[in-house]
Amino acid sequence: MARQALPPAATPPDLIRNFCIIAHIDHGKSTLADRMLQITGVVDQRAMRAQYLDRMDIERERGITIKSQAVRMPWEADGTTYCLNMIDTPGHVDFTYEVSRSLAACEGAVLLVDAAQGIEAQTLANLYLAMENDLTIVPVLNKIDLPSAQPEKYAEELAGLIGCDPSEVLQVSGKTGVGVEPLLDEIVRQLPAPQGDADAPARAMIFDSVYDTYRGVVTYVRVIDGSLSPRERIEMMSTGAIHELLEIGVSSPEPKPSDGLGVGEVGYLITGVKDVRQSRVGDTVTTARRGATTALGGYRDPKPMVYSGLYPIDGSDYPILRDALDKLKLNDAALVYEPETSVALGFGFRIGFLGMLHLEIVRERLEREFDLDLISTLPSVVYDVRLDDGQTVTVTNPSEFPDGKVSAITEPVVRGTILAPSEFIGAVMELCQSRRGTLRGMDYLSPERVEMRYTLPLAEIVFDFFDALKSKTRGYASLDYEPDGEQEADLVKVDVLLQGDKVDAFSNIVHRDKAYAYGVSMATKLKELIPRQQFEVPIQAAIGTRVIARENIRAIRKDVLAKCYGGDISRKRKLLEKQKEGKKRMKMVGSVEVPQEAFIAALSQDTGAVEKAKK
């Protein structure tokens, strides 16, 4: 057990151990990964910076891992030098698919649990994923340096969950490094070596692919059978596309070219491809000549779960937004978009996201990296609408909801797992019921902690459910969910009309029981946000032709000169000029002038937005 020089590439499989660290968010996965890099000597002390593996600025700022990365580390145990490949996985539900691909590249997983928090919802979700992939689980409690750590209690909980003895649960601190060396020894001892047929045609699974400005797409692979060498051309099995291999190598953690990758090895490929969608996570790579004929299982196209319209606040920024999306797409295979026009907001794009975190990240990157100011419309899930004539329409934008006779609507549902202290069972049930949830089962992990399983409509949980759950359980509950098909539901489209004209950006698809509440809240918000006009403006919320809520904005002409009695003509002129300038920032909806800010505030989920806009 000590630092060693890196063995050459083409390490025999029995000296390789491929593992990942799985944990609930913030349980310290990145910190532990950093400590392993340091202890195995692959990153020297001076180059070490916090969260070495999280490269993107946004990742480091938010302290979350979005893209997984792989690192090769040497480790000596019982006089033999082993090659450990550590695959870092993202921890958020939006990226579950990437987690499951990373798991499929490993033989074992370190299941990391915060010794002051215990098991949380994503601990369970990730554990189940790992078990489905037949991985060997090494249970570990982290943060044992914390004064609030309760290692005995949680070792028992963890042991109960995976069916081992509490004494087999390792205890570490990623922060101080305590227990990390014994953990590396255990990884070598407990994990099986990779198995594969060295003489078979090459098959390697893509578990990550990232866009690098200088090198193009870097594809991370795990070789299952055969080998890949730098002189060969490769084929992507899902598309049949053939690429030249410009470089092949391993990361430790900086990229190092090697003369090939054999069975069980993890490394990267560079082909000069400029678009990550040509090198998709889950796909199988083989050689162009004498390649494999059956791909490895598990490839799946990333499927957007949430759609939202993004519009530039300044309409002339539209071409910049289009170019920016084209650039982001190079690095994000899950991003889909198409141009869209809105009567109220002008030209923009309808964009599909994996979830709300994905939406926030994309929006933040667009605003930050491309200096854009954007309005996003109310996010919507994907509905299937069956019409009376038997036709089915897929709706991702409420304003496109068909007006004809609808016979049924289906909405996506998820299987949600909620973990909470048992004193909050009532509060959690009440919340889930108000979100149209159905209880599927309940288990006690310990006398004071309970796991509750629900089927819930995606639309009810994707936006603000987590915040509501946290506030009802004083922050103690955790949530994980995965798609679980569709269900029929009694949904309606609510339109918002200004003086009889529909404002497309405010249309929303909601459950019939919640339609009234949505209508009233929009009408009240808009009444506060839209300035008085020279004529009376009715604001209506309607389902089809039936009006369900109404407010009036009384008529008045805003006389900007009112404050300006007395003679100074130049001051009056200035004020009139200013009024004209302000009008440019107005959008016309029929004959009603609506300030840009009113749209932003009305579409914002933030409850303080209306107050801010009024100021």
Residues that constitute the known binding site: 26-31, 142-145
Contact 250, 73 (CB under 8 A): no
Among 26, 364, 528, 593, binds ligand GTP (CB under 6 A): 26
Separation of alpha carbons 56 and 240, rounded Å: 31
The residues, ordered by sequence, that sit 6+ positions from 342 with a Cβ below 8 Å of its Cβ are 309, 311, 348, 377, 399, 504, 505
Among 17, 143, 280, 365, binds ligand GTP (CB under 6 A): 143
Q: Is position 25 an interface residue for ligand GTP (rule: CB under 6 A)?
A: yes
Separation of alpha carbons 55 and 88, rounded Å: 12
Q: Give 30 or 85: the residue with its C-beta nearer to ligand GTP.
A: 30
Closest distance to ligand GTP from the beta carbon of 298 (Å): 23
Closest distance to ligand GTP from the beta carbon of 43 (Å): 15
Q: Give 99 or 269: the residue with its C-beta nearer to ligand GTP.
A: 99
Closest distance to ligand GTP from the beta carbon of 50 (Å): 8
Q: Is position 63 an interface residue for ligand GTP (rule: CB under 6 A)?
A: yes
Helices and strands (H and E) in the chain: how many: 15, 31
Query: In angstroms, what CA-CA distances link 586 with 177, 221, 589?
Result: 58, 52, 9
Closest distance to ligand GTP from the beta carbon of 446 (Å): 22
Among 11, 18, 30, 171, binds ligand GTP (CB under 6 A): 30
Separation of alpha carbons 517 and 154, rounded Å: 44
Q: Is position 227 an interface residue for ligand GTP (rule: CB under 6 A)?
A: no
Among 11, 18, 22, 27, binds ligand GTP (CB under 6 A): 27
Closest CA to 109 of 91, 90, 134: 134
Q: Is position 31 an interface residue for ligand GTP (rule: CB under 6 A)?
A: yes
Q: Is position 291 an interface residue for ligand GTP (rule: CB under 6 A)?
A: no
Residues 82-101 that bind ligand GTP (CB under 6 A): 91
Separation of alpha carbons 565 and 273, rounded Å: 68
Q: Provide the 3-class DSSP secondary structure of residue 547.
A: strand
Closest distance to ligand GTP from the beta carbon of 472 (Å): 23
Q: Give 64 or 202: the residue with its C-beta nearer to ligand GTP.
A: 64
Structure tokens at 300: 């799946």
Q: Give 142 or 258: the residue with its C-beta nearer to ligand GTP.
A: 142
Query: Which residue stretch of 60-68, 348-356, 448-456, 506-514 sits at the interface with ligand GTP (rule: CB under 6 A)?
Result: 60-68
Query: In angstroms, what CA-CA distances link 301 with 43, 128, 240, 336, 482?
Result: 35, 22, 16, 12, 16
Structure tokens at 388: 């009376």
Q: Is position 23 an interface residue for ligand GTP (rule: CB under 6 A)?
A: yes
Q: Is position 65 an interface residue for ligand GTP (rule: CB under 6 A)?
A: yes
Q: Give 148 or 394: the residue with its C-beta nearer to ligand GTP.
A: 148
Q: Is position 181 an interface residue for ligand GTP (rule: CB under 6 A)?
A: no
Separation of alpha carbons 538 and 9, rounded Å: 73
Task: Kindly write out the interface string for residues 351-370 of this chain, putting x where it contacts ligand GTP by CB under 6 A and - elsewhere.
Answer: --------------------
Please give the DSSP secondary-structure letter assigned to residue 350: E
Closest distance to ligand GTP from the beta carbon of 32 (Å): 6
Q: Is position 126 an interface residue for ligand GTP (rule: CB under 6 A)?
A: no
Binding residues for GTP: 26-31, 142-145
Q: Is position 64 an interface residue for ligand GTP (rule: CB under 6 A)?
A: yes
Closest CA to 217 of 272, 137, 156: 272
- Size of interface with ligand GTP, in residues (CB under 6 A): 19
Q: Is position 540 an interface residue for ligand GTP (rule: CB under 6 A)?
A: no
In terms of phi and psi (left: phi > 0; alpha: psi -120 to 50; beta: otherwise), the region of 552 is beta
Q: Give 121 or 344: the residue with its C-beta nearer to ligand GTP.
A: 121
Closest CA to 369 of 417, 406, 402, 320: 320
The residues, ordered by sequence, that sit 6+ positions from 437 with a Cβ below 8 Å of its Cβ are 416, 454, 455, 456, 460
Q: Which helix (H) or strand (E) holds 443?
A: strand 438-446
Q: Give 31 or 507: the residue with its C-beta nearer to ligand GTP.
A: 31
Among 108, 174, 253, 352, binds ligand GTP (CB under 6 A): 174
Closest distance to ligand GTP from the beta carbon of 113 (Å): 11
Q: Is position 68 an interface residue for ligand GTP (rule: CB under 6 A)?
A: no
Q: Is position 179 an interface residue for ligand GTP (rule: CB under 6 A)?
A: no
Question: Is 561 exposed, middle or buried (CB count within 10 Å of its CB: 0-12, 13-18, 19+)?
Answer: exposed
Counted residue by residue, the chain has a size of 615
Query: Which residue stretch of 59-67, 341-349, 405-413, 435-443 sits at the interface with ligand GTP (rule: CB under 6 A)?
Result: 59-67
Return the residue matching tokens 């309409």.
Answer: 315
Q: Is position 445 an interface residue for ligand GTP (rule: CB under 6 A)?
A: no
Closest CA to 256 of 44, 74, 9, 16: 9
Query: Which residue stretch of 74-82, 169-177, 207-215, 607-615 sits at the interface with ligand GTP (rule: CB under 6 A)?
Result: 169-177
Q: Is position 175 an interface residue for ligand GTP (rule: CB under 6 A)?
A: yes
Closest CA to 247 of 235, 237, 261: 261
Separation of alpha carbons 16 and 18, rounded Å: 7
Q: Is position 102 an interface residue for ligand GTP (rule: CB under 6 A)?
A: no
Q: Give 36 or 345: the residue with its C-beta nearer to ligand GTP.
A: 36
Rounded to the nearest 10 degrees, the angle between the axes of helix 180-190 and helix 29-39 is 90
Closest distance to ligand GTP from the beta carbon of 118 (Å): 15
Among 146, 246, 320, 429, binds ligand GTP (CB under 6 A): 146
Tell me which residues touch ligand GTP (CB under 6 A).
Answer: 23, 25-31, 63-65, 91, 142-143, 145-146, 173-175
